[in-house]
A = this chain, B = another copy of it.
Amino acid sequence: MAFTTFPPPGSPPGILEHRSGRLTQPSRLRIIRYDVDSLEEKADATVADCQNFKDRPGIKWLHLEGLEDLTLLQDLGACLGFHPLALEDVVEGRAPIKVDDYPNYLFIVSRLVTDLIDFSDEQISLFLGPDYLLSIQETHTDHFSIIRERLRHGSGQVRSQGADYLAYTLIDYIVDSWFPLLENFGERLEDLEDRLLSQPDGKLTLELQSLRRQMLRGRRMLWPIRESINTLLDLEGTLIHEHTRVYLRDCHDHAFQVIDLLENFRDIASGLIDVYLSSLNNRLNEVMKVLTIIATIFMPLTFIAGVYGMNFKTELSPWNMPELSWYYGYPFALGLMGMSVLIMLIYFTRKKWL
């Protein structure tokens, strides 16, 4: 629930600054230039390289990891001509998932889930131009190595398509990385259901609530991702080619699938809470029934025993507990008790409590 401090109200917009409480990692830029036939790669690139690569033919993929070096980011923005507000969104790392349509490029913000258990995520920012893609991530975790591999080996059609197809590949990666998370949710739900049926206790509610909260967060992350893909699909202009649109539509279907499964899980989780509450209620009913049966049987018995434990002087009056002196006094008392039990048992059977 903790979040880093926000900029104080009234500070001017478009200023790149690290907020206190935000951890940043050293910046590393990697540039890959490719076309159908060739691929060139430069790790630990600098702004000079950006300038260098910029006007050469082929598709340029610039990938920036870590946001420590704000000058690098600012220089990159200047080199490719980005709006300061977009760069500020990158640095803040808290922008809503969206597609901003600037005159010569698209600024796409998305979020990638990075941890199944703690449900942490990081912002992935994409700047898509006519022949380049700048992707920026905050941490050093190498999410997109598999896509780099596909590029290097030329598998699939990614080498023969434009920068928009590369952007699609990254977005598709982001959407598809939800599936393992969903399997994790599914397993935890099944586990909770099993435990709820075998030995329900109070911790279950807490765990269910935390699961629901994560699913809610997931839903709130997924809807705008789906919306942003929709925006890309509806976008006019030449940045997204017709050929890529078909693939984005497929990616949109995947996002829909994820949301659908998530909704399914949410229903199941809600149902489990209902079942749990009604099992609590049932249990209370059962406990109370046992108490009532025991109390209702033994109270009259104890009373009868109490009566014949009174010390009235039988010798002073024939009215004073003559039963005590009867020959069958004790069996009579026991019989009285037995009858009381019998009556109660009949009563309970009639009430269907037994």
Interface residues of A (CB under 8 A from B): 1-3, 5-15, 83, 85, 88-89, 94-96, 98, 100, 144, 146-147, 150, 155-158, 169, 172-174, 176-177, 179-180, 182-183, 186, 189-190, 197, 199, 201-202, 205-206, 209, 212-213, 216-217, 220, 246-247, 249-250, 253, 256-257, 260-261, 263-264, 267-268, 271, 273-285, 287-292, 294-296, 298-303, 305-314, 316-317, 319-321, 323-331, 333, 352-353
Contact: B333 with A327, CB < 8 Å?
no
Q: Determine the residue in chain B with the shortest Cβ distance to A267.
A: B216
> Which residues of the other chain, B, contact A189 by a CB distance below 8 angstroms?
1
Q: Tell whether A319 pairs with B311 under 8 Å between CB atoms, given A186-B2, A305-B303.
A: no
| 4 A-B pairs with the lowest CB-CB distances in the bound complex, closest first | A305-B306, A12-B156, A6-B179, A10-B146
Contact: B296 with A291, CB < 8 Å?
yes
**For the complex, would chain A's binding face be called helix, strand, loop or mixed by DSSP majority?**
helix
What are 21 residue pairs bridging A and B, where the CB atoms are less than 8 Å apart in the complex?
Answer: A11-B146, A85-B247, A89-B250, A98-B253, A197-B206, A209-B271, A209-B274, A213-B268, A276-B278, A277-B281, A283-B285, A288-B288, A288-B292, A291-B291, A294-B300, A303-B305, A309-B311, A312-B330, A317-B328, A319-B329, A320-B329
> Which residues of the other chain, B, contact A331 by a CB distance below 8 angstroms?
319
Contact: B96 with A6, CB < 8 Å?
no
Contact: B250 with A209, CB < 8 Å?
no
Contact: A303 with B312, CB < 8 Å?
no
Nearest CB on B from A150, distance (A): 6
Contact: A3 with B186, CB < 8 Å?
yes
CA distance A303 to B2 in the complex (A): 56
Q: Determine the residue in chain B with the shortest Cβ distance to A300.
A: B298
Nearest CB on B from A137, distance (A): 14
Q: Determine the residue in chain B with the shortest Cβ distance to A158.
A: B12
Which of B157, B182, B287 is A285 in contact with, Cβ under 8 Å? B287
CA distance A201 to B299 in the complex (A): 28
Contact: B327 with A9, CB < 8 Å?
no
CA distance A205 to B246 in the complex (A): 45
Most buried by B among A83, A156, A309, A328: A309
> Which residues of the other chain, B, contact A250 by a CB distance below 8 angstroms?
13, 85, 88-89
> Which residues of the other chain, B, contact A3 by a CB distance below 8 angstroms?
183, 186, 261
Q: Determine the residue in chain B with the shortest Cβ distance to A100.
A: B249
Contact: A10 with B202, CB < 8 Å?
no
> Which residues of the other chain, B, contact A279 by a CB distance below 8 angstroms?
202, 205
> Which residues of the other chain, B, contact A285 by a CB distance below 8 angstroms?
280, 283-284, 287
Told that A85-B247, A316-B327, A320-B329 touch, could you supply 12 new A-B pairs with CB distance under 8 A?
A3-B183, A5-B183, A13-B247, A95-B257, A100-B249, A205-B279, A292-B294, A301-B303, A305-B307, A311-B311, A312-B329, A320-B330
